[in-house]
Structure 1
Amino acid sequence: MKTRIGFGFDVHKLVEGRELWLGGIRIEHTLGLLGHSDADVLIHALCDALLGAANMRDIGFHFPDTANEYKNIDSKILLKKTVELIREKGFSIGNADITVCAERPKLNPHIPLMQKTLSECMGIDLEDISIKATTTEKLGFTGREEGISAYAVVLLEK
């Protein structure tokens, strides 16, 4: 059996007039993330980690932000397509470990639903998805509540 590790990172700016989508769920907040799609920074980092582990470039290569077909798309669709791509190459997902950096809103109450949603999208056990939330202690763009970032690490098996 061959195992491969992938790492993903993404960041999006917080703005007024947009819904906040993280981990495939809508979270009530006064600001939302700006992007071509729904700007779900958690899912985008996860897709990059999956694609990286499979040596298949990145989310922008497969789902470019210049393509109208991806305008305002639900990132869960991108995740499902990403999982299909890596499975076509013979990989299965061992586990995913994700960290989201945001000052507000508090994300801990939403983590179980995010895990359930990602588990269903990816076709893997809930126990194989770890999601953590942290702040940057009011430092940097995240601390100033200008944006949210996410980091993801995955293990693939072939």
Structure 2
Amino acid sequence: MTFRIGSGYDVHALVHDVSRKLILGGVTVPFDKVLRGHSDADVLVHSVCDAILGAAGLGDIGRHFPDSDPLYKDISSLILLKRCANILNEAGYAIENIDTTVFAQAPKLEPYKDEMSHKIASTIEISPESVNVKATTTEGLGFEGRGEGIAAHAVVLIRKISKKSG
């Protein structure tokens, strides 16, 4: 069996915008700021997308869903995640597990982590036990610590399930 590992990282700025909601891991998190971006700016899901695509050598989220394309304006990142999982499966791979970390001074994410794991898992049709979501502060350091943005990192393990056709 062939295994491969992918890593993804994403950052978005926190801004005041009453027309949007803060979405992390597909979950609406009550907060007085939101993430700025072309899509819903879900840094957690974006990092998972990049890790999935990277593990199979299939580029990155910007290559498949460019922010210059109006089709992706305000799109749910869970839709992009589903598409990334489909791209991965078409290439002959399956996801074994996902481990993520969100870096944010605020809001506190502990009450939402299980729901985030479940949303990500159900979107790509894997077991919730295969998706781990962690959150940490930066102890007031850096842009996260100053409340200027949120970052996320993801690592994905995939396995080859069949020969790539083509």
TM class, shorter-chain normalised? over 0.9
Within the candidate set 41, 45, 50, 2:43 is matched to: 41
* Shift in Å, 1:106: 0.3
SS of the aligned residue for 1:50 comes to helix
Q: What SS is found at the alignment partner of 1:12?
A: strand
Match of 2:4 in 1: 4
Residues 51-109 of structure 1 show CA distances to partners (whole Å, capped at 9, x for unaligned) of: 00010010000000000000000000000000000000000000000000001110011
Code of the residue aligned with 2:142 in structure 1: it is G
SS in 2 for 1:7: strand
Larger Rg: 2
- Unmatched tracts of structure 2, length 5 or more: 161-166
Q: Hey, what does 1:109 align to over in structure 2?
A: 111
* Partner Cα distance (2:44, 2:150) in 1: 9
| Map of 1:152 onto structure 2 | 154
Check if 1:143 corresponds to 2:141: no
State the match for 2:100 in structure 1.
Answer: 98
Match of 1:57 among 59, 62, 71: 59
Once the two structures are superposed, what CA deviation does each residue of 1:8-44 show, in whole Å capped at 9, x if it has no partner? 0000000001310000011110000000000000000
Distance in 2 between residues matched to 1:84 and 1:138, nearest whole Å: 39
The code of the aligned residue for 1:7 comes to S
Partner Cα separation in structure 2 for residue 53 and residue 128 of structure 1: 16
Report the CA distance between 1:139 and its aligned residue: 0.2
The alignment-based identity, stated in percent, is 52
**Separation in 2 of the partners of 1:99 and 1:113?**
15
In the alignment, the residues of structure 2 paired with residue 110 and residue 151 of structure 1 have an alpha-carbon distance, to the nearest angstrom, of: 17
Aligned residue pairs total 158
Moved over 6 A (4+): none
Under a length normalisation based on structure 2, what TM-score does the superposition of the two structures give?
0.94
Aligned to 2:163: none
Which SS does the other structure have where 1:4 is aligned?
A: strand
Q: Secondary structure at the match of 1:82?
A: helix
Give the aligned residue type for 2:109. Answer: L
- Residue 151 of structure 1 aligns to a residue in which SS? strand
Once the two structures are superposed, residues 112-150 of structure 1 have per-residue CA deviations (whole angstroms, 9 ceiling, x without a partner) of: 111111111010001100110000000010000000000
- Alignment match, 2:129: 127
